[in-house]
Amino acid sequence: MMDAYRRWIGENRDCIRKDYFEFLAFQSISSELQYAKQVRACAKWVVLYLQSCGFGAELVETSGHPVVWGEDLSAGSDRPMLLIYGHYDVQPVDPLELWKSPPFEATERDGKVFARGAVDDKGQIFYAMCAMKMLRSLHGGLPINVKFCIEGEEESGSEGLADALPRMQKRLRADSLLVVDYDSYDEKTPAINLGARGIMTLSVSLTGSNGDLHSGIYGGIAYNPNRAMAELLASLYDCEGRVAVDGFYDGVREPTAEEIRSFGRDEDILRYAKEAGIEAFGGEKGRSLSEANLLRPVLEINGIAGGYAGSGFKTVIPAKTVAKLSCRLVPGQDPDDVGHKIARFLKGRCPRGMKIDVDLNRGAAAYRANLSSRLAQAIGLASEEVMRRPCKRVLSGASVPIVGALARAAGADIVGMGYGLVTDLIHAPNEHFDFPRLERGLLTVARGLELL
């Protein structure tokens, strides 16, 4: 069967490339309002593409960007029901000047495809859809029933889909949920993902005056919001690298020796940290890198902006300073609870007289999957056939915020798969993927469906 698949891919290579590059051309940046039209245009393209794969497909409107829904239930009610999740939205592209080719014109260099979304998640959900096209083309239909739920707000909090889950519950019903948004273990070794950290994001602003102030005229008088923000943010960590927020670790159980052993991969982490130029390590003292990255929660400052930090100088005391924080959470932590604790901590330490605003976004809890589910077995085996190597079982330090809730709504076992690599520069300039990996993904999904 694998040979027939590889032959089909060979015969359809030009068409696959054309479709993939078309998909990558949409500026489907979900977090920035001015791209709303392009996000929708991208969703419509996905509907058409699913239809070309023989699926019934449509847009499901939400409180945010639309969800693309597709289904082919022709295998019959006695066959398993698989729900496949991915997203067609992408991260912002700034700093634009660091891109070597335009982020929305897919460009091949050195055997790689450079574009925003090349991997995350357009590249990955694309090969999953393409696998359906191949199965239909070769067998006239699918071996099992398949539903696609492809959302447009994964990179900005999945609010729309989260809101829609209750009313979509019946249609979501499935035996298994395959999340196609993860990395392989390394270039040569496949992996299935058995869990990811949860997430909670917060925006913090400090306001000290009605407008920016001259730093000479007001220096020694006004409390500078930049200083107050630095003091607040620094107070979030203790000298051991732990988060100092009261109650932050409530509900977190210590990792077992078995977890540390089976998910530990410090050598790999050190290798890819070196490739990324990282020489300063910031995790909790006394924990291994894997432990800090996979089994422990963290709090990161994703953005700070206050005053003028461009070229030259502007000697102001800014009226306002903002910071963006995100936590990665582990099982046992409730996102809202953690968010409120951080907000309370910051408000309690804000200098008297300074205005502080803390906005909490909707969070998502961490999740862990069942190692022995049918889906875990099928995808594991399929990836081993494709890669000819034992499949690793891994956790992710990152988050796919909606999937825990989605699995609960669908009543499904969950497994994550993917052929991303940590060196793909997702979320950063010059994100890239390549055709050999896209092909592996396509084969793994197709073979996995047969094995279910």
Give the torsion sign (CA, 286, 252, 420, 44): negative
Q: Tell me how far apart the terminal alpha carbons of the chain are, to the nearest angstrom.
A: 15
Structure tokens, 339: 């968010």
Beta strands in 101-157 (DSSP E): 107-109, 112-114, 145-151
Least distance from its own copies to the Cβ atom of residue 381, Å = 26
Contact 413, 177 (CB under 8 A): yes
CA atoms within 13 A on the CB side of 143: 12
Minimum CB distance to its own copies smaller for 13 or for 214: 214
Contact 332, 365 (CB under 8 A): no
Q: Is 282 in the site for its own copies (CB under 8 A)?
A: yes
Site for its own copies in 143-162 (CB under 8 A): 156-157
Q: Is 318 in the site for its own copies (CB under 8 A)?
A: yes
Q: Which of 4, 31, 100, 436 binds its own copies (CB under 8 A)?
A: 31
Q: Is 392 in the site for its own copies (CB under 8 A)?
A: no
Q: Is 27 in the site for its own copies (CB under 8 A)?
A: no
Sole window of 31-39, 49-57, 70-78, 335-343 interacting with its own copies (rule: CB under 8 A): 31-39
> In the 3-class helix/strand/coil scheme, how is 370-391 assigned residue by residue?
CCCCHHHHHHHHHHHHHHCCCC
Sole window of 135-143, 245-253, 268-276, 340-348 interacting with its own copies (rule: CB under 8 A): 268-276
Structure tokens, 263: 């998910």
Q: Which of 128, 269, 442, 449 binds its own copies (CB under 8 A)?
A: 269
Least distance from its own copies to the Cβ atom of residue 69, Å = 24
Q: Is 246 in the site for its own copies (CB under 8 A)?
A: no
Q: Is 354 in the site for its own copies (CB under 8 A)?
A: yes
- Vertex 442: Cα angle to 436 and 447 (nearest 5): 125
Minimum CB distance to its own copies smaller for 317 or for 387: 317
Cα 267 from Cα 429, distance rounded (Å): 26
Minimum CB distance to its own copies smaller for 71 or for 120: 120
Site for its own copies in 61-100 (CB under 8 A): 91-92, 94, 98
Phi–psi pair at 343, nearest 5 degrees: -60, -45
Contact 441, 180 (CB under 8 A): yes
Q: Is 28 in the site for its own copies (CB under 8 A)?
A: no
Helix (H, G, I), strand (E, B) or coil at 87: strand
Query: Residue 125 is which amino acid?
Result: I
Closest CA to 422 of 218, 154, 187, 206: 187
Q: Is 221 in the site for its own copies (CB under 8 A)?
A: yes
Q: Which of 79, 173, 324, 393 binds its own copies (CB under 8 A)?
A: 324
Q: Is 195 in the site for its own copies (CB under 8 A)?
A: no
Sole window of 109-117, 185-193, 285-293, 363-371 interacting with its own copies (rule: CB under 8 A): 285-293
Least distance from its own copies to the Cβ atom of residue 120, Å = 9
Minimum CB distance to its own copies smaller for 168 or for 323: 323
Minimum CB distance to its own copies smaller for 18 or for 349: 349
